[in-house]
Amino acid sequence: MRHLFFTGASGLLGGQLLARLLDHGRQVAVLVRPTAKASGRERIESILLAEEQILGKILPRPVVLEGDLTSPQCGLGDQEVQWVRRACSSILHSAASLEFTGPDRSGEPWRTNVSGTQNLLDLAKETGIDEFHHVSTAYVCGLSPGPIEATASDGAYGFRNDYEASKHQAEWLVRKAPFLRNPTFYRPGVIVGDSRTGATLTYHGMMAMLQLMTVIVRNLPADETGFRKVSLRLSMTGNEKRNMIPVDWVAAVITRLLNTPET
């Protein structure tokens, strides 16, 4: 079996996806950006060690390719591109910027979500990969009213923020790539922590609010029962509806669909 070229393995969803794919026997090559504190390999190793604690088993290791989605050739050297051409047959694109607003389209979320997707498509074309799995969002529909069809809307009704608009444009780029063979789109709602442990690797949206609440509560004195109590007032009626989905459920569904496409 040839390798699945995977972006976004260091994210909340990506970490669980990587663990499940490896656990199911998939050969995976991950594109990961090094940081000032850790190499790409060290970042992936840290994620897998944490996932092994949850799963209670040792996982195989992927091929680690250090690069940058926002750079030409995704930051890979010519020899690495040649390896991808020989060894990889499909792409799972999960990397994304979750920034809601940006000063202009040269920054985030546009740089990662749009330019990064285009760079990955260019790499796919250069290496002859025509199977493309794209992790999008349920909110590519933007402000479109009524039932939403599986095909992306034309964006005529606008979007709530730059994140939605950038993800919509990224889908459009993938759909219009003539060399791809029936690209697959996954559109989860708002992804939150693990349903079993509550664990999360990143803090955005609701998770950022919960993180802030945790910091506040931990700095309060405990009462005679040992509990710390704080009153919070939220600007809500109690009837709001949000499409929140545990990360482990999303990872399980995508893994199932990748491994059994006939479903």
pLDDT tens for the chain, 263 residues: list them: 799 999 999 999 999 999 999 999 999 999 999 999 999 999 999 999 999 998 899 999 999 999 999 999 999 999 999 999 999 999 999 999 999 888 788 899 999 999 999 999 999 999 999 999 999 999 998 988 878 778 766 777 889 999 999 999 999 999 999 999 999 999 999 888 887 776 666 666 666 777 777 787 788 888 888 787 777 777 778 787 778 899 999 999 999 999 887 65
Residue 204 lies in a domain: no
Residue 77, pLDDT score: 98
CB 137 within 8 A of CB 124: no
Residue 206, pLDDT score: 66
How far apart are alpha carbons 66 and 167 in whole angstroms? 24
How far apart are alpha carbons 82 and 235 in whole angstroms? 54
Residue 70, pLDDT score: 97
Residue 82, pLDDT score: 98
Domain tally for the chain?
A: 1
Residue 168 lies in a domain: yes
CB atoms within 10 A of CB 160: 11
Question: Which residues make Cβ contacts (< 8 Å) with residue 85, sequence separation at least 6?
Answer: 126, 127, 128
Residue 263, pLDDT score: 59
Torsion of Cα atoms, 138 then 142 then 144 then 147, to 10°: 10
Quick check: helix, strand or coil at residue 63? Answer: strand
CB 96 within 8 A of CB 11: yes
How far apart are alpha carbons 73 and 63 in whole angstroms? 17
CB 50 within 8 A of CB 10: no
How far apart are alpha carbons 189 and 203 in whole angstroms? 16
CB 38 within 8 A of CB 84: no
Alpha-helical regions (H) of 177-221: 206-218
Residue 250 lies in a domain: yes
Whether the CA torsion 52, 215, 13, 28 is positive or negative: it is negative
Which structural domain, as residue segments, surrounds residue 73? 3-192+244-259
Residue 222 lies in a domain: no
Q: What burial letters (b/e) apply to 243-260, b meaning 16+ CB within 10 Å?
A: eebbbbebbeebbeebee
Let me know if 120 is exposed, middle or buried by CB neighbors in 10 A (0-12, 13-18, 19+): buried
Residue 198, pLDDT score: 65
Residue 230 lies in a domain: no
Let me know if 91 is exposed, middle or buried by CB neighbors in 10 A (0-12, 13-18, 19+): buried
Q: What is the pTM of this model?
A: 0.88
CB 8 within 8 A of CB 95: yes
Residue 33, pLDDT score: 96
Whether the CA torsion 172, 177, 178, 179 is positive or negative: it is negative
Residue 105 lies in a domain: yes
CB atoms within 10 A of CB 97: 21
Q: What is the CATH number of the domain that holds 45?
A: 3.40.50.720
Residue 79 lies in a domain: yes
How far apart are alpha carbons 142 and 158 in whole angstroms? 6
- Tell me 141's DSSP state: G
Residue 112 lies in a domain: yes
